[in-house]
Chain A
Amino acid sequence: MRSFVAAYEMETPSDLSAALERLSREPGDWKPFAGGTDLMVLLEAGKLAHRRFVNIWNLEELRRIEVTPGHITVGSLVTYTQVRGHETLSREFSLLARAAAETGGIATQNRGTLGGNIANASPAADSPPALLAYDAQIELLSTSGSRWLPYRSFHTGYKKMNMRPGELIRAIRLPRATDGWKHYYRKVGTRRAQAISKVCFAAAGRLEDGRIADVRIALGSVAPVPLRAVETETLLRGEKLASAALPAAQAALAGEIAPIDDMRSTARYRRRVAQNLLAEFLEVLAG
């Protein structure tokens, strides 16, 4: 059943400090509302439990992409369309550009934001695995100041985040250390466009003398949170690609993911596909 729309409040602060002020005055009572591509779906389905929202869509200070020699810092309101259209960002962080291109259609990409995708905390979201693979850091802002944390420590359980009442995601920072890396992104869904992932696999790696010098593997839709496959990475690091490392790595991956049966797929299928995608990634790394 549809929600009773008159019961929902939305305020539009004029700038970022006014927004933070609104969020802090009654901490947890007001929640940020960005592009609406997730929250409006809940509203129409009668499942939007929260009633008071701070409209942050117009806060241009959160919509910038800053490039410095060491990092690219992406504002939380940067849309998928902006990610795809940014030459340096999409070249150096191709996993993120691929995730942006494969999220919904053009209309969704024009409204969906990186910060919104993170804060919605769906384990099936497509940009978190890319951010995890790039060792992203996340900046949280409130009236009491700013704090940075590794994105890997941000999602703590199903829809649970390392985020305090009154905090707003300001930006994501990506270290520009991707020279010589190979990137692999694959989203497996029911159809190419508009599908929610059954499995999402984002990985990057670098070879030295035929051995895996460094490797990062992250997955979506296979655990309560977007997951970095650290045990699999540890197993692969230092290995020769030609060696028999694959079966052991596939076994490690199957052990550290925790997929479930749901409306989109089964645990068994997801585990098998994740293992197959690992094999395909290693082929790409070798090629």
Chain B
Amino acid sequence: MPDRASKIRVHCRVNGQAVTLEVYPMTRLLDVLREQLGLTGTKEGCGEGECGACAVEIDGALVNTCLVPIAQAEGAAILTIEGVADGVNLKAIQEAFINYGGAQCGICTPGMILAVTNLLARHPDPTDLQIREGLAGNLCRCTGYTKIFESVVAACHRAERPA
């Protein structure tokens, strides 16, 4: 058996809730979310930062959790897909994904929703190009992207409701 590192204590906030973790420092944030905190909405796709399925927001920035060692989450405020809706009240972008067929098999959907949430925080009224760029790091093998793109456009046009 190889030598083991010491576990470290990490404090952070996940979906507004303070958590303290005892973890090996290089454990992936993705694994901590899914296996220690039970937040299985965040999906693992490629495990190498190419597909965006594991995306969350850390301190307001979109990040792939497969590439974040937990030691770097000390003090961070993390938003996962579980924290996007307000209870059972979906955000406009989540409803748009349902209404416009933006979600099919569902593996890419949590990362897509986080990427769009992050995009709309930066660009509340995005151009087509900004939408494409905002989604460029998220792969989908079902929809061909058009329905996802249309979902984002639809959500943006409902300006009277928060995205």
Contact = CB atoms under 8 A, between A and B. Distances in A.
Contacts of B47: 44
A40 B71 CA distance: 13
A111 B48 contact: no
B41 interface: no
Interface stretch (A2-10, A122-130, A150-158, A204-212): A2-10
A118 B69 CA distance: 21
Nearest to B71: A10
A151 to B, nearest CB: 26
Contacts of B119: 106
Interface residues of A, number: 33
Interface in A11-60: 11-12, 33, 35-37, 40-41, 43-45, 53, 55, 57-58
Given A106-B118, A107-B55, A6 B136 contact: no
A194 B136 CA distance: 7
Contacts of B71: 10, 12, 55
A24 to B, nearest CB: 21
Main secondary structure of the interface of A (DSSP, over half): mixed
A44 B52 CA distance: 16
A192 interface: yes
A6 B119 CA distance: 35
A143 interface: no
Given A12-B74, A106-B134, A108-B67, 19 more contacts: A6-B4, A9-B25, A10-B26, A10-B69, A37-B49, A40-B49, A40-B67, A44-B66, A81-B61, A107-B63, A107-B115, A108-B137, A110-B62, A111-B64, A111-B67, A111-B68, A192-B136, A193-B136, A194-B139
Interface of A: 4-12, 33, 35-37, 40-41, 43-45, 53, 55, 57-58, 81, 104-108, 110-111, 192-194
